[in-house]
Amino acid sequence: MSRRPNIIFIVADDLGFADLGCYGGRPAKFGAVSPNLDALAANGIRFTQGYANSPVCSPTRFALMTGRWQYRLRGAADEPINSKSRGSATLGLPPEHPTMASLLQQSGYATALIGKWHLGYPPHFGPLRSGYDEFFGPMSGGVDYFTHCDSRGTHDLWFGEEESKETGYLTDLISDRAIGYIDRVAKSEAPFFLSLHYTAPHWPWETRDDEAVAADVKDNLFHLHGGNVDTYRRMIHHMDEGIGRIHDTLKKHGVDKDTLIIFTSDNGGERFSDNWPLVGGKMDLTEGGIRVPWIAHWPAVIAPGSTSEQHCLTMDWTATVLDAAGVEAAPSHPLDGLSLMPVLRDASQGFARPLYWRMNHRGQRAYRHGRWKYLRVDGHDYLFDIDADARERANLAPREPERLTRMREAWEAWNETVPAIPADATVSLGYSNADMPQR
């Protein structure tokens, strides 16, 4: 490579493990749901054991930005940060904390975040305070695709730290901005880092043709009375179309070969998603809440058609990005993430990667090591052989009590290395069993 790679880090919002065709997703009535992402996977690498740092939005984003266990930061203890935190000086990503963006920025990268932030509000927090030269998108966790208002009815679309009154379907606005950004920076001397964080396919359930729905959901963006699988798949398709246009723009400028494109989701799918064969979804530490699509495309480095069973967490992407760019972590804030560059260069490579999670919600905890997973939900401890039983239906705890004890002790030892969940941490649920039946 003649210079350090450009990097585009794409994050979908609440995308299920099997929503994409390349992960076994079925075609929609209109045809293939994700042809462009499927093509990136076919010409790059697809991870089958990639996990989110959390089964809910903002905690995963803390891990993504810092490359460290999200539990180290107070803001990540809220599950998730909600719009009531506007003005809080506590619930956000501290500007003094090194981030993937700030480390790249300091090393000479042009940096931009286009899309969802969800890591606290100005004046205390914001993308421009955490390493991004440019920002366009919403600050909160969820907004209407047409009015761009959050769940409290507050307009929440920004250019930098000024409100943007731009009109249009948010998924398309994000894609258009990304294309415009690449057009500006692709030929510059400095490489660029673009965080492209879509809100799709997060509620409310609105396709490009559903502007009339905005008035119906303005008082409750959770959209509990609407949506369906067809609408949901179309929302994914709109995002996929934008990603295809962005890839075409890289080719137009002749920088596709030396651009690392990463795609993942912040957590498992929500109510209309396809997580097969996994059980559970957003807010759950069962596999459906944390195992997500992981795709990387980098023609200069990654062999097409690669597949890896490497166990990995969101924050490992952070370490990988910095490694690819030749950037060291800040000595004051060592990374917890591990670089996947050896796997990108050769998909047959692998390494042991213990994975840990905890949730205030339902007192959940989980530890994946090799084929085994220890899980606690609502005070019940389980043991699963994930390689044999990804659906987590065959509880082996009664048959393997010693293994269960060892794994529980290993989780508890890890938990001692991160701060405890503070007493004032909140859990925000959009709906309950009263709104729809649960499994």
Give pLDDT tens digits for 1-32: 458 999 999 999 999 999 999 999 999 999 99
Q: What's residue 1's pLDDT?
A: 42
Pairing relation of β-strands 134-137 and 110-115?
A: parallel
pLDDT of residue 159 exceeding 70 = yes
Q: What's residue 304's pLDDT?
A: 98
User: CA-to-CA distance for 296 and 307, rounded, in angstroms?
Assistant: 10
And the tokens for 95? Answer: 């500007």
Give the model confidence (pLDDT) of 282-305 as tens digits. 999 999 999 999 999 999 999 999
Q: What's residue 84's pLDDT?
A: 84
- Neighbour-count burial for 358-381, b at 16+ CB within 10 Å, e otherwise: bbebeebbbbbbeebbbbbbeeee
Average pLDDT score, the chain: 97
Q: Is 79 helix (H, G, I), strand (E, B) or coil?
A: strand
Q: What's residue 83's pLDDT?
A: 84
Identify the helix (H) or strand (E) that includes residue 214: helix 213-217
Q: Per-residue pLDDT averaged across 428-434, rounded? A: 90
And the tokens for 273? Answer: 């998603």
Q: What's residue 3's pLDDT?
A: 82
Cis peptide before 80 (omega within 30 of 0): yes
For residue 163, list its beta bridge partners: 158
Q: Which residues contact residue 32 at a Cβ distance below 8 angstroms, ignoring those fewer than 6 apart? A: 21, 38
Pairing relation of β-strands 6-12 and 192-197?
A: parallel
Q: What is the pTM of this model?
A: 0.98
And the tokens for 14? Answer: 């609440």
CB 105 within 8 A of CB 325: no
Q: What's residue 2's pLDDT?
A: 52
User: CA-to-CA distance for 237 and 28, rounded, in angstroms?
Assistant: 10
Q: State the number of CA atoms in the 13 A half-sphere of 208 facing the CB.
A: 11
Per DSSP, the residues of 250-313 read: HHHTT-STTEEEEEEESS---TT---TT----TT--SHHHHB--EEEE-TTTSPTTEEE---EE
pLDDT of residue 38 exceeding 70 = yes
| Whole-Å CA distances, 328 to 98, 190, 261, 333, 336 | 11, 18, 20, 11, 13
For residue 312, list its beta bridge partners: 50
For residue 291, list its beta bridge partners: 51
User: CA-to-CA distance for 137 and 232, rounded, in angstroms?
Assistant: 21
Give the model confidence (pLDDT) of 86-131 as tens digits. 999 999 999 999 999 999 999 999 999 999 999 999 999 999 999 9
And the tokens for 200? Answer: 């799709």
User: CA-to-CA distance for 132 and 194, rounded, in angstroms?
Assistant: 9
User: CA-to-CA distance for 425 and 167, rounded, in angstroms?
Assistant: 35
Place of tokens 């690392």: 260
Q: What percent of the chain is predicted at pLDDT more than 90?
A: 96
Q: What percent of the chain is predicted at pLDDT more than 70?
A: 99
Task: Identify which of 313, 301, 308 has the alpha carbon closest to the alpha carbon of residue 341.
Answer: 301
Triad 229, 231, 236: Cα angle to 5°: 95
Place of tokens 């929302």: 235
Give the model confidence (pLDDT) of 175-206 as tens digits. 999 999 999 999 899 999 999 999 999 999 99
Q: Is 395 helix (H, G, I), strand (E, B) or coil?
A: coil
Q: Which residues contact residue 401 at a Cβ distance below 8 angstroms, ignoring those fewer than 6 apart? A: none
Cis peptide before 201 (omega within 30 of 0): yes
Give the model confidence (pLDDT) of 362-421 as tens digits. 999 999 999 999 999 999 999 999 999 999 999 999 999 999 999 999 999 999 999 999
Place of tokens 């009263």: 434
Q: State the number of CA atoms in the 13 A half-sphere of 374 facing the CB.
A: 23
28 secondary structure, DSSP code = B
CB 164 within 8 A of CB 232: no
218 secondary structure, DSSP code = T
Q: Is 347 helix (H, G, I), strand (E, B) or coil?
A: coil
Triad 177, 274, 198: Cα angle to 5°: 10
